Amino acid sequence: MRINADRMHESLRELAQIGATPGGGVTRLALSREDRVARDLLRRWMEAARLRVRIDDFGNMTGRRAGTESGPAVVMASHIDSVRQGGCYDGAYGVLAALEVMRTLNDLGVTTTRPLELVNWTNEEGVRFEPAMLASGGVAGAFTPDYIYDRTDRDGIRFGDALDAIGYRGERSDRPGPIAAYLELHIEQGPVLEDAGHPVGIVEGIVGISWGEVVVEGHADHAGPSPMPLRRDALVAAARLIAGVDEIARTVEGAVGTVGRIAAEPNVINTIPGKVTMSVDFRHADHATLDTLFGSLERLGREVAAASGVTVRTQRFWTSEPTPFAAHVVEMVQAASDELGLSTRRVWSGAGHDAKYMQGVAPSAMIFARSVNGLSHCEQEFSTPEDLEAGANVLLRAALRLAGIEGERTTHKRG
């Protein structure tokens, strides 16, 4: 049993025209006019695939295909909102592959035991309304409805008002679920699969993220009359710390560390920098390792302070816990890939996805399709049609394993 790849690619092309940018990408911000047009199209497609469509109080769209049992559903989900000048595959691929799974099951006359649901989550990207994954977080109970409705965009427009304006505020009783198992197919958005030569990744979880701020204080002084041995240059000390973050992450298997933002004061050509404030982003699959990474940075901070005569304050202010997926759902994805003869690799997602919240609600897992050059959140984002097809076939088979097959039309000639 395989999906109809041509039909999926055609739908991807059609959806990508909504909010298309001159550079070949899309700008389809959550609850924008473009999002509404895309939602209307998706709704028509879902209805044409004979799914029963419902909209919940956060605008999440669910299309249900009945099983012989009426209980919890196997959910396949992603999002069709995008970042500004984003690519055509982030999110849209997961939604349209799930739609293609439904269409394929219709073609083949397959009846599943459990119902299947396709979900389009509202505001996954968090570009228009922060934070990201707002609506799946709402369904998981991480945010209250009031919190969600009161988020505002940069023009001061509330989420709740934007939702009403596009006509997509539904009922709380129409939220997705109850969920037996949750699957999210997505492009990788990184270079690991391409580097290792695998079309598909079996995602074991979403890494933990920990953010900190480092403040280095030295002494601002004239760049001319201050001899080198007498200086307390905050930026030179910060440079050692930046290199240290990189080095610390390199010594720990599976860790990444980034200093992405830095401000030097007074930031003037002929003054020795007196103060530097910089950000630190560490990620790893294991919470204890995040503690170790920050511990190493604090130790380095003390060493640099002692050696350079500056003060270093490190403050860790936000942590998103690592989310390991459900082992049996991960194994279903692996079995589905093996059945297709695909070469795969186990990976952890370095980026957040709605599956993070869903894992708290139901056993979940993700499937990654290889990204060319690992590019994402840009117009150059691309995955080959073959890899997209492979990922969608894994989704189809994993969903069937989780939902169970009751029967199919025997008259149909299968390829």
Note the residues at the interface with Zn ion (CB under 5 A).
90-91
Smallest gap from Cβ 349 to Zn ion, in A, equals 10
Give the CA distances from residue 19 to residues 7, 158, 199, 304, 386, in Å, rounded to whole numbers and listed in that order: 21, 21, 28, 49, 25
Cα–Cα distance measured from residue 63 to residue 117, given in angstroms and rounded to the nearest whole number = 5
Smallest gap from Cβ 125 to Zn ion, in A, equals 7
Give the sign of the dihedral formed by CA 277, CA 283, CA 287, CA 292: negative
Q: H/E element holding 360? A: none
Smallest gap from Cβ 371 to Zn ion, in A, equals 12
Cβ-based nearer residue to Zn ion, 144 or 373: 373
Give the sign of the dihedral formed by CA 153, CA 159, CA 161, CA 166: positive
385-403 and 92-108 helices cross at what angle (nearest 10)? 60
Cβ-based nearer residue to Zn ion, 28 or 151: 28
Cβ-based nearer residue to Zn ion, 91 or 257: 91
Smallest gap from Cβ 326 to Zn ion, in A, equals 20
Smallest gap from Cβ 316 to Zn ion, in A, equals 27
Cβ-based nearer residue to Zn ion, 187 or 310: 187
Cα–Cα distance measured from residue 388 to residue 371, given in angstroms and rounded to the nearest whole number = 9
Q: Give the residue at shortest CB distance from Zn ion.
A: 91
- In the beta sheet, which residues pair with residue 210? 282, 319
Cβ-based nearer residue to Zn ion, 284 or 353: 353
Cα–Cα distance measured from residue 175 to residue 56, given in angstroms and rounded to the nearest whole number = 5
Cβ-based nearer residue to Zn ion, 231 or 370: 370
- In the beta sheet, which residues pair with residue 276? 216, 264
Smallest gap from Cβ 124 to Zn ion, in A, equals 6
Cβ-based nearer residue to Zn ion, 91 or 212: 91
Smallest gap from Cβ 375 to Zn ion, in A, equals 13
The residue ranges of DSSP E strands in 131-274, in sequence order, are 179-187, 200-206, 208-217, 221-222, 256-258, 262-265, 271-272
Distance of CA 23 to the CA centre of its chain: 23
